[in-house]
Structure 1
Amino acid sequence: MPSGLPSAPLAILLAMTACVTAATDFEYGPRPDKPVFDPANVLKPDEFEAVATPIQTIYQKQGVDVMVVIMPDIGKAPPEHVARRFAEEWGLSELRCVVLHVPGHEHTPWVFPSGRLISYLTPSEVEKAVQDIRRHAASEPKDVDKVRTAATESSDILRYWLASTINHSEMIKTESAKIRLEQETKARQWRIATLAGVASVIPLAGIISLLISWSRRRGPGYFPTHTWQPRLGAPHSGGNHAMLNLGASRK
């Protein structure tokens, strides 16, 4: 897991932080000041501080909320259900995780991440991370080491997911901006090409119009029409129905 992640996403995450107040009917009352709930005092005071202080500092700096709940017994209640109740009632952030530890239970601890940002991840990705954390924590021999390992790795994976989600969101915004820019550029080029085409057609149309006008003025030659007038006194022209008598023919 990456360490020392920048605190820049803190403002983004805190803006999404749910100001959750403890429900009056929650059997365990309001959330304690420290992010470790140990009603049976399974941890010693120094162990308690060793677990609580790091995850509290991370929440204050980066808004990632990890809550450790150590219960002596949960009866027959499903661990996921118990962890979800604590997350809903005591969660302070939209990126949170409850580490539930039941000393002596063969499957302890349980890790339950939740919050709005988790919805951006695939279920298989979340499940794999949870199982890896549980396996590492279960391999520790002492209770304090189990919960400290689970809390530390949960905090790391939440910060990693936070950074990845923000980077992915920024990538989507960048790609969307590129697509819009390309579309605007193509539209601008199309407008320029259209205007250029129209501009080239206008003088061509003018030239064609001039040629048509000129050709009409130079149309085929023709003779003007005149009113027919009889021609008089033209002996050989046959005008005015004149006839010439040449006398009798010789035999």
Structure 2
Amino acid sequence: MRRIAVVSGGNRGIGLEICRQLAGRGIHVVLASRDAGRGSAAAKVLAEQGLSVEARQLDVSDEASVAELARGIEAEHGGADIVVNNAGIAMDGFNAEVARKTIDVNFFGALRLTDALLPRMRAEGRIVMVTSGLGDRRSLSKPLKAQVGKADLTRDELIRLMRRFVDDVAAGRHTAEGWPSSAYAVSKMGLNALTGVVARELAGDGRGILCNAACPGWVRTDMGGAHAPRSVEEGAETPVWLATLPPGGPQGGVFRDKAPAAW
């Protein structure tokens, strides 16, 4: 059976290159993007290169959109083998609305898509969270750093922490509470912690599914800018490596350049 990969935010940048590299390995790729037109255009370009790619509309901030995609994957492909949570935003400024929207897309969006597709994933499936070097706990206060990095952190505890950050920003107390003034950084810290949470939840699953996070580095994309030192090909290398790990590979880790990365 041909493997099926779902890549969120797949219409440009690192996401598009992840789609290209996975399809180049003979995997059928579902290129998911919020903008249906741009997604279709991106998928067409890859298909013209002889790659097996289809476009699907997906807004990771919309429960109904996530559920519709998951149902379609099951109905048309019988399930998925790879899920790459690449969709993300980096907004200008910093206020309560920026915090709310950034956490909703970058953290809860990955959680929504993972939860929707996990029951539909086949044996030896792979889940990849695309994170960032900015998601470093060193910018947190000691108490928050300890909470986010707790070895037995639960899903509910992590969700409360992410919501607490948004509430603290809205109340004007986030600095006093030990948070940095960067919603993007906090969202990626949450994503790194979520990687460990999902990995621990999979311990008794039996399907051999692995969940890891990949830091692409500073890449020349619309988000990274023209002066970034890495190409999209280099940025996609570690996410694709994690998406195609053999059985017995690492579980619950954060990686950069195919090596464990401290965060």
With the length of structure 1 as denominator, give the TM-score of the two structures. Answer: 0.30
Relative contact order, CA 8 A, sep 6+: which one is greater?
2
Q: Which has the higher helix share?
A: 1
With the length of structure 2 as denominator, give the TM-score of the two structures. Answer: 0.29
Q: Which has the higher strand share?
A: 2
For the pair shown, the structure with the greater C-alpha radius of gyration is 1
